[in-house]
Structure 1
Amino acid sequence: MNPVQLLDIDGELRPHPDWPLDVTPGLCRDFYRRMRLARQFDQEAQTLQRQGELGLWVQSLGQEAAQVGSVTAMRSTDYVFPSYREHAAALCRGITPAELLIQWRGNRHSGWDPDRYRFHIYTLVLAAQLPHATGYAMGVQRDGADEVVLAYFGDGASSEGDANEAFNWAAAADVPLLFFCQNNQWAISTPVRTQMRAPLHQRARGFGLDAHVVDGNDVLAVHAVTSGVAQRLRAGMGPAFIEALTYRIAGHSTSDDPGRYRTDSELDSWRARDPIGRLKRLLDKQGWADKAFHTEVDEECRTLAATARSVCRDLPLSDFSAVFDTVMAEPTSLLAGQRRQYLEFVDSFED
């Protein structure tokens, strides 16, 4: 199956008969702005990590279209289960830079209220969020709510047992759940071609899921397909699976050196398909964005970067010694000793 595409790499519109979308100047400008802001924030967080302000960072560089196009196709009341790289989707839901950064600074397990944003906390254990999403969708189904659950994960996570169990469970229970796989071609240093012998969307059909594949660097196609699939789910035709073919431009995380396992030519070929550049070419060709618009977006990006730097350094430290009080119902000598060792370790640092 060929991936659905509405916008080619040259910025030309290619309407799709099965996935209609009212492509307006306003819609395209909105998507462009959201992707630009997401990339700016992502790059700023990467820099903060290199400066020692964050313990770790996992970039979403190159995957902005897959996230912006999909999350904006959902209702604000639809619940989202992310993995750990969905920064663009989180920003679209209104989560602030401080709320996004605090976990990676090591100050707290998570920085936001999931119920407020209808966006669950990040899950760093591969595919662990998928059974949770399935169970949540079963609750939605039993409540009779007009709600769709969206679960993000990557191609690497699809090889986990949790993922395959969730696919089967969701299909058997017929729940309103949309599995959204960002196939960024690499599970850390393992390429897709050695992970599996069948495309992900084909495997999904084997579980009984309504499966689709889309050009994940085409924000218009992602939005159109996600909107259509969500509508089917709301009509009781779920669950479903979307494979968005995209690419992880950066390393798996700031602890990874992708130059050790992939070639410059591969990277260059995907940079040519960059989702932001592709949409900008459409805006320029159609005359849908003038100089004032681009200046405004540039200024928003600079402001967001400055905000991220400021709030990151101002994040309050948490007292993690309390974790030893909640492990066991009754304190033990072992826990007391570990607590003492932790406090001695913390005291060893200079202010």
Structure 2
Amino acid sequence: MTDKLVKDRNHLSGIKMTNTVNIIDNGLIDIPMLQLLDEDGIQTDKNYALKLDKKTAVNIHYSMEYTRLLDDRMIGSQRQGRISFYLASRGEEAATVASAAALSELDMIMSQYREQGALVYRGYTTDQFMDQMFSNELDPNKGRQMPIHYGDKALNFMTISSPLGTQIPQASGYAYGQKMAGKQAITMCYFGEGAASEGDFHAGLNMAAVLNCPVIFFCRNNGYAISTPAEEQFAGDGIASRGIGYGVRTIRVDGNDVIAVYAATQHAREIALAENCPVLIEAMTYRLAAHSTSDDPSGYRSKDEEAKWQLKDPILRFAKWLDAKGWLDQAALDKFKEDTREQILSSLKRAEKVAINPIEDIIEDVYDTPPWHLQKQLTELKTHIQKYPQHYPKTSGRIK
């Protein structure tokens, strides 16, 4: 009877039998971290065949510099009350920009909210950033989203959604559709280690593994889920161990090492596309900025901790490597940064003067004709704004 069960049940095939009680603990799992640049920007393996040309490397560097300049300006703008909210990516630029650089333009990106660097690399313009953050009438979201909820169909960048982790099972489904349609493309799904505590993470990874979906799950493990440190979130070996548990190919990489992130993503994409399977990348990095403009990190981490990670700054680290290769033109970089600051400020001033969307837009784009109950609510909203105009911006009730 026992022999027949083992033979008939596929899930038992290949399992090694033992007559000893073995408990597998966390100490028996040893997942290494890929690192190709040390903290001084020196390549750790001179013989490593890196598939990164000068043009791509310089583009990655400039995209990271642009992202940081954009972040600094928009944090200041939020503090001035010009926008309501912002999320910076200081310290994590290598993880997002270098990974996006290793993709094809045909690959779909599903982002969490700290991947503006990926959009920068794909060519999202300063004006597009500003129109979205100021929720004006040029914003493709029509002002219905919070700032930093970008999306662009032309760039294959799915619009960001506020609820944490929703993009993970969506990425599995989208990648399954890519496979069924025979497309030579994959889906890249970004999220933080905090989002990996959501149920959507487990559903998404299991779905992708079982249905063989060509998707890369890219986890930015920056040490904190807002104010909760990683050791208070989980006891296992990071997020990488979960990929192994779900039968997903897994890579752990130094998330502050541009060339390691680029190489890992490049390799993951090749596997996902060739074998129609998911790959999990855990990028070990650190959030140097606050979680958002609503957060004060001094309440949960020390200045000494931040100072140690400042020394691992991915932009400075990569610049040293570029300089050693003779690929860094400092004069050109300084000019780029100066021009970028001026461009960002100019676009910001332009966007905040653009009119907001007509209030009628709030009930459109779902039904061909808005149903009576939505029209009734719109009328009530207009009446409310007219009754209490002192509590609303002057343009809140703009009529088409």
| Fold shared per TM-score above 0.5 | yes
In structure 1, the partner of 2:85 is 56
In structure 2, the partner of 1:235 is 274
Structure 2 CA distance for partners of 1:62 and 1:112, relative to 1, 3 Å: closer
Q: Which of 248, 254, 257 pairs up with 1:215? A: 254
Give, in whole Å, the separation in 1 of the partners of 2:255 and 2:62: 18
Structure 2 CA distance for partners of 1:344 and 1:121, relative to 1, 3 Å: farther
Aligned-residue identity in percent: 32
TM-score by length of 2: 0.81
TM-score by length of 1: 0.92
Structure 2 CA distance for partners of 1:113 and 1:191, relative to 1, 3 Å: closer
- Between 1:277-286 and 1:327-336, the stretch displaced more is 327-336
Aligned length: 350
Per-residue CA deviation, residues 90-127 of structure 1 (Å, 9 max, x unaligned), is 11111122322334334423686632111111122100
Per-residue CA deviation, residues 49-89 of structure 1 (Å, 9 max, x unaligned), is 11111110011111110011100100001111111111111
Q: Is the 8 A contact 1:55 1:106 kept in 2?
A: no
In structure 2, the partner of 1:151 is 189
In structure 1, the partner of 2:41 is 11
Q: Which of 351, 366, 373 pairs up with 1:331? A: 373
Per-residue CA deviation, residues 173-219 of structure 1 (Å, 9 max, x unaligned), is 10111111111111010011111111100111111111111000111
Q: 3-state SS of the aligned residue for 1:117?
A: coil
Where does the alignment leave 5 or more consecutive residues of structure 1 unmatched? none
Alignment of 1:25-36 (within 5 A): 25-36=54-65
Structure 2 CA distance for partners of 1:140 and 1:317, relative to 1, 3 Å: same
Q: Is the 8 A contact 2:59 2:121 kept in 1?
A: no
Q: Which amino acid aligns with 1:99?
A: Q
Structure 2 CA distance for partners of 1:265 and 1:166, relative to 1, 3 Å: same
Q: 3-state SS of the aligned residue for 1:235?
A: helix
Larger Cα Rg: Structure 1 or Structure 2?
A: 2
Give, in whole Å, the separation in 1 of the partners of 2:42 and 2:306: 23
Give, in whole Å, the separation in 1 of the partners of 2:251 and 2:115: 20
Q: Is the 8 A contact 1:97 1:311 kept in 2?
A: no
| In the alignment, structure 1 residue 41 sits paired with structure 2 residue 70 | yes
Alignment of 1:1-351 (within 5 A): 1-15=31-45, 20-107=49-136, 108-109=143-144, 114-198=152-236, 199-324=238-363, 329-331=371-373, 336-345=379-388, 348-349=391-392, 351=394
Q: Which amino acid aligns with 2:33?
A: P
Q: Which amino acid aligns with 1:45?
A: M
* RMSD of equivalent CA atoms: 2.4
